[in-house]
Amino acid sequence: MPISTQPARPRLSPANFLFGVAYYPEHDLPEHLEHDVERLLAAKVNVVRMAEFAWDRMERREGEFDFSFFDFHIDRLGRAGIKTILCTPTEAPPMWLTTNYPDVLQVDANGRSMQQGSRQHASLCSPRYRDFSRKITHAMATHFARNPHVIGWQTDNEIYCHTAEDYSPAAHVAFREFLSEKYRDIAALNEAWGTNFWAQTYTNFEEVLPPYAMRPSAENPGHRLDFLLFTSHKAVVFQRDQVEILRAANPAWWITHNGVFRNLDYREFSRDLDFMAVDVYPMLAFMDAPGELSPAKFPSRLLARTRSICGKFIVTELQSGPGGQLDWMSATPEPGQMRLFAWQGVAHGAEGILHFRWRTCRYGAEEYWEGVIDHDNVLRRRFEELCVEGAEFARLAPILRGTEVRPEVGVLFDMGLMEFGHRPITHGLPSPWDVADGIFTACSAAGLNVGYVHPLDSLEGCKLLFLCSNAIVTAEVVAALTRWVERGGTLVILARSGTKDKFGRVVAATPPGLLTALAGCTVKEHSRLNSPPLTGSPSITFKWDDQVFSENLWREVLETRGGAVVARWREGRFVDAAAAVENQVGEGRCFYIGTYASTELVSGWLALLMKNTSVKAIIPGIPPGVEVLRRTGEGKTLVFVLNHTAEIKKIANAPTGEHLLPGVETTDGVLTLPAFGVALIRS
């Protein structure tokens, strides 16, 4: 079973693997559309996604709906066997709406009203905007309810891709309503936020405003935490309006949304969906952090995080060409990378791949966010790669059926309270999101079967778990982890975990608070390290192998509470003090390590930690730039080996079995992968 216990409805099956493109006929010249059907069929495309930015095309004037343009294109594709995913177009309202009703616009923290001419400029808190969103959704749902070619829906588009926090008058009202419902009594809010600090006590909810950073100094962290939770929740409520309308119109439709971004609690958000979707642009990784990320690392983490939300997902936008807006532009995927990215999505569990976009738009902010076909409508290399992908997915869809990703190593992660709990006061330290990424990257580089896991989901199949410096850890989470460890699991708890309660207040108990019984230790003293440190570079030595690891961020001195010291600080005033403790809990064990975890540190720890588990690499000793993943189910094991480099890679210890993709071979147990090559081995 999937690790996630979120209610993904079983309407999506790899037997009907979705393969297609984002399709925008409203952007194209009529003569460019003439041969689309035959070209799409040549690439074995079976689905397109359309209409997420076409509100002005469907409702040119308020209350006057005309869907004939999309009727025509849905029908011409449908008659050829190509289905359609429709989108509610609420990310970009039409000009008449924002001109006639400027109160629907979002406002930033500096009081600037957002304007027409971009996207995501409307306030999700605005009652008027929610009403218009319901109207267009209802009109579309009613019109297309009996269209056999429409198989599902995407709500809105990339909510919070750009902005999240809203300071409009409507948001002020909605925030107060959120707080009133949560706390019921203003005294409870005062207690939760600790408002007796700096004379912040409220006498009623009407006095509460959204938090404004540095006006003039540090804001109340409890106030900020609730605003983060509110910001996430308002998107949930906004989407729910649409989901209820769509389900009422046609219960057979499945519904998804494309993410994944940092300001949404997708566990709550996805409860109304059938499954999640994600948009993946691997070449942007080089732009965001040159020299640190690669297309191997960035999309891998994004895909794995999406899978963890509700088990099932599709890729609604996958990079085909270069992407850019205004003053920036990414590189063009090299020959073979487009196919590589598609198979990477499938290896991580995707049950559908849609490339962005079919034909490149000749105008607008994304005129050089290029698709499968260039501006001139001439078929070139990217179309040829699409045809290769389509043929491979059509042939192998039955083999993928019934398989899924089942991690043995889990990186515990919650995009809601446990992540938001860090943001009000960061002290310049990594967030749980960043710590989790470092751990995931290290485990992936070691060839382990690793995935992100929510602590309240089923942990069946996991043998090693990491708790990623989560300040907020609830009693429910502690109970779930304790049961899992008692049954034989190995848990690694990292510094500063369990130091706050659900309101963001520091716990009165000695750290790690509720985790103390699991950890077998408490924190006697801690120190944020300076760079360069004043008292020498601290390092820790793991007792059993006498290995030395350097850390320059955070130190904790531990006292045992039933556990045994396995590592000590070696330098500075903390010399010989306990740095890590191992604690036996039932049939399992817990390690508490009194520092943050970087990719480098985890890479060194892994061999030591794995000695206490039965975790083994899918393929041991994989070379840098190679990614190995596994899907299992229905008696099948599928191993995916992906070469993210421009060099030929030789992989020793390759699994035996049937090669399902061309262009690779195994000789004497050594798998040879060409540049950007993919191997799929069934055993």
Pairwise pLDDT comparison (48 vs 13), residue with the higher score:
48
What pLDDT is attached to residue 549?
A: 83
Residue 14, helix vs strand vs coil: helix
Give the Cα separation of 172 and 186 in Å (integer): 16
What pLDDT is attached to residue 491?
A: 98
User: Is the per-residue pLDDT at 266 higher than 50?
Assistant: yes
Q: Which two tokens stand for residue 276?
A: 């999640």
Tell which CATH architecture fits domain 626-682.
Sandwich (2.60)
Q: How many CB atoms lie within 10 A of CB 49?
A: 28
User: Is the per-residue pLDDT at 10 higher than 50?
Assistant: no
pTM (whole model) above 0.85: yes
Dihedral pair phi/psi, residue 647, rounded to 5°: -120, 155
Mean pLDDT of 459-470: 96
What pLDDT is attached to residue 498?
A: 97
At 602, the amino acid letter reads V
User: Is the per-residue pLDDT at 196 higher than 90?
Assistant: yes
Pairwise pLDDT comparison (471 vs 328), residue with the higher score:
471
Dihedral pair phi/psi, residue 403, rounded to 5°: -105, 155
> Residue 549: CA atoms inside 13 Å, Cβ hemisphere, count?
27
Residue 588, beta-bridge partner list: 585
CB 56 within 8 A of CB 116: no
What pLDDT is attached to residue 19?
A: 98
Mean pLDDT of 222-238: 98
Q: For the segment 61-114, what is each residue's pLDDT rounded down to a tens digit?
A: 999 999 999 999 999 999 999 999 999 999 999 999 999 999 999 999 999 999
User: Is the per-residue pLDDT at 405 higher than 70?
Assistant: yes
CB 421 within 8 A of CB 470: yes
What's the Cα-to-Cα distance from 325 to each of 43, 284, 328, 363, 492, rounded to whole Å? 28, 12, 6, 11, 42
Mean pLDDT of the chain: 93
Q: For the segment 313-322, what is each residue's pLDDT rounded down to a tens digit?
A: 999 999 999 9
Q: Where are the alpha helices (DSSP H) in 349-426?
A: 381-400, 417-420
Residue 667, beta-bridge partner list: 670
Q: For the segment 101-115, what is each residue's pLDDT rounded down to a tens digit?
A: 999 999 999 999 999
Ranges in the chain annotated CATH 3.40.50.880: 409-610
Q: For the segment 172-190, what is each residue's pLDDT rounded down to a tens digit?
A: 999 999 999 999 999 999 9
Q: Which two tokens stand for residue 173?
A: 């009202």
What pLDDT is attached to residue 12?
A: 44
CB 85 within 8 A of CB 48: yes
Q: Is the peptide bond before 357 cis (omega within 30 degrees of 0)?
A: yes
| Residue 200 CB contacts under 8 Å (≥ 6 apart), including other chains | 193, 220
Percentage of residues in the chain having pLDDT higher than 90:
85
Q: How many CB atoms lie within 10 A of CB 285?
A: 20
Per-residue confidence band for 8, with pLDDT thresholds at 50, 70 and 90: very low
Per-residue confidence band for 377, with pLDDT thresholds at 50, 70 and 90: very high
Q: For the segment 420-430, what is each residue's pLDDT rounded down to a tens digit?
A: 999 999 999 99
Q: Distance between terminal CA atoms of the chain?
A: 20
What is the DSSP annotation of 292-321?
A: T--TTHHHHHHHHHHHHHHS-EEEEEEE-S
Mean pLDDT of 252-279: 95
At 137, the amino acid letter reads T
Which of 176, 193, 201, 268 has the alpha carbon at shortest distance from 502? 193
User: Is the per-residue pLDDT at 541 higher than 80?
Assistant: no
Give the Cα separation of 143 and 252 in Å (integer): 15
How deeply is 322 buried, as exposed, middle or buried, from its count of CB atoms within 10 A (0-12, 13-18, 19+)? middle
The sheet carrying 658-659 orders its strands as 626-633, 636-643, 678-682, 658-659
Residue 329, helix vs strand vs coil: strand
| Residue 110 CB contacts under 8 Å (≥ 6 apart), including other chains | none
Give the Cα separation of 533 and 149 in Å (integer): 64
Give the Cα separation of 484 and 486 in Å (integer): 5
Per-residue confidence band for 11, with pLDDT thresholds at 50, 70 and 90: very low
Ranges in the chain annotated CATH 2.60.40.1180: 626-682
Give the Cα separation of 496 and 596 in Å (integer): 8
Helices 169-183 and 186-193, interaxial angle, to 10°? Answer: 90
Ranges in the chain annotated CATH 3.20.20.80: 46-274
Q: For the segment 567-624, what is each residue's pLDDT rounded down to a tens digit?
A: 998 877 788 999 999 999 999 999 999 999 988 889 989 988 888 899 999 999 999 9
Per-residue confidence band for 254, with pLDDT thresholds at 50, 70 and 90: very high
Q: Which two tokens stand for residue 674?
A: 């060409």
Angle at 426 between CA 276 and CA 578, to 5 degrees: 105
User: Is the per-residue pLDDT at 269 higher than 90?
Assistant: yes
What pLDDT is attached to residue 326?
A: 87
Q: Which two tokens stand for residue 123?
A: 């306030």
Per-residue confidence band for 550, with pLDDT thresholds at 50, 70 and 90: confident
Give the Cα separation of 459 and 119 in Å (integer): 39
Q: For the segment 646-658, what is each residue's pLDDT rounded down to a tens digit?
A: 999 999 999 999 9
User: Is the per-residue pLDDT at 13 higher than 70?
Assistant: no
User: Domain 409-610 class?
Assistant: alpha beta
User: Is the per-residue pLDDT at 542 higher than 90?
Assistant: no
User: Is the per-residue pLDDT at 362 higher than 90?
Assistant: yes
| Residue 597 CB contacts under 8 Å (≥ 6 apart), including other chains | 435, 438, 439, 466, 468, 469, 494, 605
Pairwise pLDDT comparison (563 vs 1), residue with the higher score:
563
Q: For domain 46-274, give the CATH superfamily.
A: Glycosidases (3.20.20.80)
User: Is the per-residue pLDDT at 673 higher than 60?
Assistant: yes
